[in-house]
Amino acid sequence: MESILSGLADDRATGALRLGKAGMLYLTEGRVTYAESSAAPRVEDLLTAGHRISAYAVRRARQSAAEDRWGGEQLIGQGVLTRGELEFCVLSAVLDAAYFLFDSDGHRPRFRPGDRHWLGPQWYFDVAGMFRECKRRRAQLDQAWPSAELDSLPVVPVGRIPAQRVMLTSLQWEVLVGADSTATPSDLARKLGRPAYSVLLAVRQLAAAGLLRTPQAEPAAALPRRSTGTRQAPAAATGALRSPTSIPQATGDPTDVDLLIRLRDALEALT
């Protein structure tokens, strides 16, 4: 996968790289502009689940894109979204999808020159930078809970917490409340309108705190918890950060992408 994408980047290719049923990556002049994965919510899923826009507005934007007018510009022009909101949502969704696509095996890649996503280019992602970010995310997951046993299984909270009190982030709380013992982390991401990677990280953090069990285990049996001397569910990040008042415009500079990645991580820490 990395060699194929790097080759397309070197050739400054424009089109869509399909990875079977796993998803698709869209490139514009050798840079990734959009990505979709079957394991992660799309931009429209995140926006509609959060009641930021309606499904009707999405349909109209897709129709406009079919008439050679980018759907993203349609949403911005109608005042449905600000450019900053759309760019930030695309940033989150693309990095989310890319993580799962880069980790998928057994799919035969097929490139279709000239194909573009209906939203139109909102961000330009450097291919090498995206692979670095995916490796960072994989390391972050392993640091939270060094096992992938719960990544694709239903999320099942324990019947009794192993402490008098616990401290949770808002996302960890949403995951526990939304878990119905049948939904996987990917299912919960769509249900909650949250990025799939963020939900997966929250699940591993909850597992490390002893607040989840495997579906096959008895209700009273929690997952083995590492000895850390604390009963808190690890937060996504430490420290208090304030939300910025504005979001930078999209550019082709990989430095700006790295800056927005750090900004995204800071906002995730607040949720």
pLDDT of residue 215: 85
CA count, 13 A, side-chain hemisphere, 142: 6
- The answer to whether the CB of 127 falls within 8 A of the CB of 259 is no
Res 268 pLDDT > 90: no
Q: What is the pLDDT of residue 203?
A: 97
Share of the chain above pLDDT 70, in %: 79
- Distance, in Å, from the CA atom of 261 to the CA atom of 157, rounded to the nearest integer, reads 31
108 compared with 25, residue with greater pLDDT: 25
Per-residue pLDDT at 229 exceeds 60: no
DSSP letter string, 170-206? HHHHHHHHH--SS--HHHHHHHHT--HHHHHHHHHHH
Query: pTM for the whole thing?
Result: 0.77
Q: What is the pLDDT of residues 59-109, one digit of tens each?
A: 888 887 765 678 888 888 888 889 998 998 999 999 999 999 987 777 789
Q: What is the 3-state secondary structure (H, E, C) of 233-259?
A: CCCCCCCCCCCCCCCCCCCCCHHHHHH
* DSSP helix/strand/coil, 76: helix
Annotated domain spans of the chain: 2-135, 145-213
CB 176 within 8 A of CB 206: yes
Give the separation between CA 151 and CA 271, rounded to whole angstroms. 20
**Integer Cα distance of 169 and 233 in angstroms:** 8
Alpha-carbon torsion, ordered 11, 15, 20, 22, to 10 deg = 100
CA nearest neighbour of 268 among 178, 184, 202: 202
pLDDT of 238 reads: 31
